[in-house]
Chain A
Amino acid sequence: MTKNFSSRLEAAMSKFSQQEILFSEKLSRIDLGSIKTELKKSNLKLINVYRNHNFESLIPFVDLYSSYADDGYRFNIGDYDSSLCFSSYNDAANLELVWFDFTLIDGLKGSDLLEWFVDRIDYLRVLSNKPILILPVFKGVLTSSELVSCLDKKPGVYVVNLAEYVSSQNSTLTQERLYKLAGTKICNEAQMILARALALSWLPSFFRPELKAVLFDLDNTLHKGVLGEDGIEGVVLTRAHKELQQYAKFLLKQGIFLGLISKNDEYDVKKLFKIRVDYPLKIEDFSVLDVSWGSKSDAISRASEKLRISTDSILYVDDNPGELASVLSEVQGINLVFAHDNPVITKIAIEYFPGIWRWKVGADDLKRIDDLKAIDRRRDFEKKLTNKSDYFEKLKISLDFYYDDIETLERASQLSSKTNQFNLSTKRLDEIEINARMKSSSSSVVMISLSDYLSDSGQIALVIGEMIDFKLVITELCISCRAMGRGLESSIILYAIKNMGLYRMGMTIYFDYKIEARNSPAIDWLKGLGAKINENNNSQFVLDSKTVDMFDVPKELKVSLNGKKL
């Protein structure tokens, strides 16, 4: 065992033992205080906090939970300021946090208060191009839905109604009696709940990639007992195990793949899910079913290939610390949760795992699950066909190109931030940065949707072109892994470029690129077209004008531009 692995294992085991306190149904300040933490000292994210009530008392808990996630934050906290002048603004910050209690505001009410607040957020947007997270306390003065509907369409602005959130965790947000004591009305337990959500859900959503799959062990994880010993009717679905399975179903609705990795006989496992109709999870809910007596690390690697995601996008849940240790040593970047004897703790530990939180679930997230199911059918279909054009025609493939369409902004940002394999420049642009490019006359943002006879894959590609020093530079180019392997890359990208308003015949095209661990498919595709490194700028490829000029999509493909069929 290497020293490096030994220390990783020690850290992982320490975290597993902390789960019982950190993810208890009823958080305890005294118990949390008993956990010794080693705070991260470098790569800390700086957060500007604008507030009109106490934020400081959350910080020890944010530190505790962010330490569990191997993250770290520094808070630049302004004075108590109900006028929101943002005088403490620091342009080095990575995020703007508005910690605001509307019940402390006198004078302005109803729509006047709403208008004033939205105006202040617009002003903050002028100061900063970073994400803005608003955590408001409402009560009677202004309803959250009014505020959310006003701010929801603003790029890069995120709002959580704290009362609703804390209530969903079976607790209460505020008590008036506390204000004079604490400088905030937020209750003891609510402070811990909100600190946990900040450190493990909300803040990581801005700085970490999303998790794309949760893989479960079966015995003593999704039910109590061992299938091979207790039999189908002998394993017990306790109320808490049922809730854990229901939560897994919820993850599925969030567009997160589920998998079952179990050391059992496959026949028995399939029979279990068929006979035990009381199980909320059904066998078809699992995009990956890997049941064998082989190594779980191998099973997880196979799952990663099948789901076309990297292992660092996977969370694996198992009740056996030995299995977890083995997986940790053999699977690069894997994320782990120890399935506790009490499944409620397991459920909360998954719920709060960094990368699980979703601000919104779009139609494209939901299509991901069905799209994967179509892959095997598409392969079978392909085997029966003789040539590519036959394949395109019979599959009834459609490509829809949308130029500078604000409706595609959220998905465009997702593609930029999440795509790893076919992502040429890995710039990781957020909504604010893409929105600026959509509005600019010297750039063009193209989003491409793909559908065929077997599935609707939704918006699967993003191409951004910008005029820089009179040259057309493709500064961002991503294709979701779900659209790869269909021989459509050139049709998607070259057609998108050719129809940009910025494009002129005879133009040499430049592509920004950056070599990363996993983006070789994008670079290989570009080299395959004959692109060469730009002699004057080695972070760019240059592509001869003829490649784009002469390109046309195969006639068997159906194509539309901004919703108009061609």
Chain B
Amino acid sequence: MEKNYEIEKKVISIFQGILKEEDCNINLKRSEYPNWDSMLHIELIFALEESFDLQFTEEELERINSLASIIKFISSRNK
């Protein structure tokens, strides 16, 4: 089971790799990242699912609007 800080670190690393963002604030909304367009969003979600070996539910997919929300959904699977 991965600890929350490990999940956060891994999510940020994947996010930075895909969006080519060096600085990131997990609390910023998706709309606040100009690069975070729909194509990269799909890529990010698939990369996260692959990396954490999980599938987000349809409801979770609709509610993902920041890195914080992603970390929250992944962490909840660990409980």
- Are chains A and B native binding partners rather than an unrelated pairing? yes
Q: A28-B50, A29-B50, A30-B50 are in contact. Are A181 and B43 (CB under 8 A)?
A: no
Q: Given A56-B39, A177-B61, A182-B42, answer yes or no on A33-B49 (Cβ-Cβ < 8 Å).
A: no
Cβ < 8 Å to B, chain A residues 191-226: 191
Q: Does A57 contact B (CB under 8 A)?
A: yes
**Of A57, A175, A176, which contacts B42 at CB under 8 A?**
A57
Query: Are B46 and A188 in touch, CB under 8 angstroms?
Result: yes
**Contact mask B9-48 → A, CB, 8 Å, 1/0?**
0000010011000000000000000000011011101110
* Chain A: minimal CB distance from B27 (Å): 22
**Which of A29, A56, A175, A183 has most B Cβ within 10 Å?**
A29
Q: Indicate if the CB atoms of A180 and B62 lie closer than 8 Å.
A: yes
Interchain CB contact under 8 A, B57 and A177:
yes
Is the CB–CB distance between B50 and A177 below 8 Å?
Answer: no
**What string of 1s and 0s marks CB contacts (under 8 Å) between A160-200 and chain B?**
00000000000000011110111100001001000000000
Report chain A residues within 8 Å CB of B39: 56-57
Label chain A's interface by main secondary structure.
Answer: helix
- B42: chain A residues at CB < 8 Å are 54, 57, 181-182
Q: Determine the chain B residues whose CB is within 8 A of the CB of A30 once the complex forms.
A: 14, 47, 50-51
Specify the chain B residue showing the minimal Cβ separation from A57.
Answer: B42
Q: Does B2 have its Cβ within 8 Å of any Cβ on chain A?
A: no
A177: chain B residues within 8 A (beta carbon): 55-58, 61
A191 to B61, CA, bound (A): 19
A residues with a Cβ closer than 8 A to B are 28-30, 33, 54, 56-57, 175-178, 180-183, 188, 191
Q: CB distance A181 to B45 under 8 Å?
A: yes
Contact check, B46 vs A180: say whether CB atoms are below 8 A apart. no
Given contacts A30-B47, A54-B42, 6 further A-B contacts (CB under 8 A): A33-B47, A57-B39, A177-B57, A180-B61, A188-B49, A188-B50
- With CB as the reference atom, state the residue of chain A lying closest to B45: A181
B residues less than 8 Å from A182 (CB atoms): 42
Complex: chain B residue closest to A176, CB-CB = B58
Among the interface residues A54, A178, A191, which one has the most CB atoms of the partner chain B within 10 A?
Answer: A178
> How many angstroms between the C-alpha atoms of A56 and B40 in the bound complex?
11
Contact partners of A178 in chain B: CB under 8 A: 61
Complex Cα–Cα for A28 and B46 (A): 10
Instruction: Tell me which residues across on chain B come within 8 A of A176, comparing CB atoms.
Output: 58
Give Cα distance in the complex from A177 to B42, angstroms: 13
In-complex Cβ contact of A33 among B17, B55, B56 (8 A): B17
Q: Which A residues lie within 8 Å of B18 (CB)?
A: 33
Residues of A within 8 A of B57 (CB): 177
Complex-state Cα separation, A176 to B51, whole angstroms: 21
Contact of B46 among A29, A54, A56, A183 (CB under 8 A): A29
Q: Considering the chains assembled together, what is the distance between the CA atoms of A536 and B63 in angstroms? A: 74
Chain B residues lying within 8 Å of A33, measured Cβ to Cβ, are 17-18, 47
Closest approach, in angstroms, between the C-beta of B73 and any C-beta of chain A? 13
CA distance A404 to B14 in the complex (A): 60
Which residues of A are found within 8 Å of B43, using beta-carbon distances?
29, 57
**C-alpha spacing A175/B62, complex, angstroms:** 15
Given A28-B50, A30-B51, A188-B49, are A181 and B61 neighbors across the interface (CB < 8 Å)? yes
**Cα-based distance from A177 to B55 in the complex (angstroms):** 10
Chain B min CB distance to A37 (Å) = 16
Among residues of B, the one whose C-beta sits closest to the C-beta of A182 is B42
Give the complex CA separation of A183 and B17 in angstroms.
23
Residues of A near B58 (CB, < 8 A) are: 176-177, 180
What are 7 contact pairs spanning A and B, CB under 8 A? A28-B50, A29-B43, A29-B46, A33-B18, A56-B39, A57-B43, A182-B42
By beta carbon, the residue of chain B nearest A177 is B58
| Most chain B CB inside 10 Å of its own CB: which residue of A28, A33, A56, A188 | A188
- Shortest CB-to-CB span from A60 to chain B, Å, is 8
Task: List B contacts of A175 (CB < 8 A).
Answer: 55
Q: Which chain B residues lie closer than 8 Å to A29 at the CB level?
A: 43, 46-47, 50
Task: Give complex CA distance A30, B39 in Å.
Answer: 15
Q: Which residue of B lies closest to A184 (CB)?
A: B42
Assembled-state Cα–Cα distance A28/B17 (Å): 15
Question: In the complex, what's the smallest C-beta–C-beta distance from A415 to chain B, in angstroms?
Answer: 44
Among all A-B residue pairs, the 6 with the closest Cβ atoms? A188-B46, A177-B58, A181-B61, A182-B42, A29-B47, A29-B50
